[in-house]
Amino acid sequence: MHPPPLLPTHHLSDWPDCQLEMHCCKGVSLYPTKLLIEKRGDLLIRLAVDKLRCAACGKKPAPVYLCAGHREHSGGSPADWAIELVPKR
């Protein structure tokens, strides 16, 4: 399945059943958009991604994906789709 278009005006609430997949020094972390909304409010996706930091090293994670469904690394099925928000360093 192809991902839907991601617009600069989209907020976290526009993707309520998705999650951010963040890669950094401790591996991969999944952060549901609903949880981000509870903790930080309904930010624009680009602002929410700009504020992300690794819990271990404090750096910005890269790559970061917006995903629908679970990813393979967590033992689930492949994501229905994933949009790269931050490229790999």
- Its pTM stands at 0.86
Q: Rounded to 5 degrees, what are φ and ψ at 88?
A: -65, 140
Cα–Cα dist 83/9, whole Å:
16
Residue spans per domain, the chain:
12-86
pLDDT in 10s for each residue of the chain, 89 residues = 677 889 999 999 999 989 999 999 988 888 999 999 999 999 999 999 999 999 899 999 999 999 987 655 555 556 688 899 999 98
